[in-house]
Structure 1
Amino acid sequence: MNLPNKLTVGRIIAVPFFVVLYMLGYNLIAFVLFIAASLTDMLDGKIARKYNLVTNFGKIMDPLADKILVYSAFCLMVDNGLVPGWMLIIILAREFAIAGMRTVAASEGIVIAAGMSGKIKTVLQMIAVPLLLLVNVQELTSVMPVITMLAEGFLWASLIMTIYSGIEYIVKNKTVFSM
């Protein structure tokens, strides 16, 4: 297994540790772990492209690892009200719809590549989550209004980009519906 794929697997392995830290209220440590895991997403892609280490495993597992990491955090945050449940439903519905389209397309030998809007959506989500984690860090009470405003802004921006990118995928790949 090459280094980019090891980083992807590491991101998946980090998720249960992140979940436990969050559930135990260690938000600052969960924040650090989430940031580190998120950075592996950027790093594994750069290494894979630079050294021609792109693999089918990486093409499938890298975006899946991102989703596992981010949506685990969002699920936890629904429980304590940081993320509205309806918002998570929209986000997950988009993911399932696009995954379904990709599966149908793949069965016909067609690959639906990730678009720029989907990548932007992921980046916005990976910024929103750590900001949301900081909302409950007591040591930051003096800057809490700013952190809360930023967290909510990035959460809403990620939702808007989720909807936009979902529509874009459907429009660009509408032929999948006739297969």
Structure 2
Amino acid sequence: MDFHNFGSLPNLITFGRLILVPVIISLITAQRWKEACVAFIVAGISDGLDGWIAKTFNWRTELGAYLDPIADKALLVSIFVTLAIVGAIPATIAIIVVARDVMIVGAFLIARILDKPLKVRPLWISKLNTLAQILFAALVLSVEAFGVSKGAWFDASLYIVAALALASLGAYFNRWIRHMSA
């Protein structure tokens, strides 16, 4: 079967990640932590897997270039907001994560409206930010699922996730300013 002809295997994996978002949110709100943790880990692994397959087999598509970051944002924004609502993480970290994404999407939209569209290319700091957010969310879900105590690692992780989100926002903002000034 040639997946490349109907959207590629990486795109199908990404669609699967999108489908998992409401499932994970429902599991968290029902406090079915173990199931939510497993589903989230599957979604997190799928994020790396779809990119690896696309690069390794040269199955990159324009749809995938847009769909993958949308799936990442849908997953992470939903997870952080839901974890904040149920009290598993401070609302401040959810606000930072969501505000970063809203500002970046807003900048891309403004560039497009002003007929100066930017290419969708994730920066290395953005990839590191996404990885940190996925790992942090998985750790929080694991804590809730297995009753592990939140220790100093939790506060340190909060600061790391916040710092990476803000650094990533700064890097994108710098790129956007240079692009818009050219």
Structure 1 residue 36: deviation in Å?
0.5
| 1:86 maps onto 2:86 in alignment | no
- Equivalent residues of 2:65, 2:120 under 8 A apart: no
Instruction: Give the conservation status (yes or no) of the 8 Å contact 2:84–2:91.
Output: yes
Q: Paired residue for 1:15, among 9, 21, 29?
A: 21
The aligned counterpart of 1:75 is 81
The 3-state SS of whatever aligns with 2:144 is coil
Q: For residue 178 of structure 1, report the CA deviation from its aligned partner.
A: 4.4
Query: Which residue among 161, 174, 178 is the counterpart of 1:175?
Result: 178
The share of aligned pairs that are identical, in percent, is: 29
**1:95-174 alignment, distance < 5 Å:** 95-106=101-112, 107-137=115-145, 140-141=146-147, 144-145=148-149, 148-174=151-177
More off after superposition, 29-38 vs 73-82: 73-82
Residues of 2 paired with 1:90 and 1:75: CA distance?
10
Q: Where does residue 58 of structure 1 map in the other structure?
A: 64
How far 1:63 sits from its partner (Å)?
0.9
Gaps of at least 5 residues in structure 1 are: none
> Offset at 1:17?
1.0
Asked if the contact 2:136/2:157 (under 8 Å) is kept, the reply is yes
* 8 Å Cα contact 1:125/1:154 also seen in 2: no
Contact 2:80 2:94 in 1 (8 A): yes
Instruction: Indicate how the Cα distance of structure 1 residues 62 and 103 shifts in structure 2: closer, same or farther if over 3 A, else same.
Output: same
TM-score by length of 1: 0.88
Aligned to 2:48: 42
Say whether the 8 Å CA contact 2:29–2:86 is kept in structure 1.
Answer: no
Q: Is the 8 A contact 1:127 1:154 kept in 2?
A: no
Superposition misfits of 4+ residues, deviation over 6 angstroms: none
How many Å apart are 1:148 and its aligned residue?
4.4
Kindly state the Cα deviation for residue 176 of structure 1 after the two structures are TM-superposed: 4.3
For 1:153 and 1:32, locate their aligned partners in 2 and report how far apart those are by CA, in whole Å. Answer: 24
Partners of 2:151 and 2:87 lie apart in 1 by 13
Which is further off, 32-41 or 80-89? Answer: 80-89
Q: 1:13 to 1:148 in 2, by over 3 A?
A: farther
CA contact (8 A) 1:8 1:44 kept: yes
CA RMSD of aligned residues (A): 1.9
The CA deviation at 1:114 is 0.9
Offset of 1:3 from its aligned partner? 0.4
How many equivalent residue pairs?
174
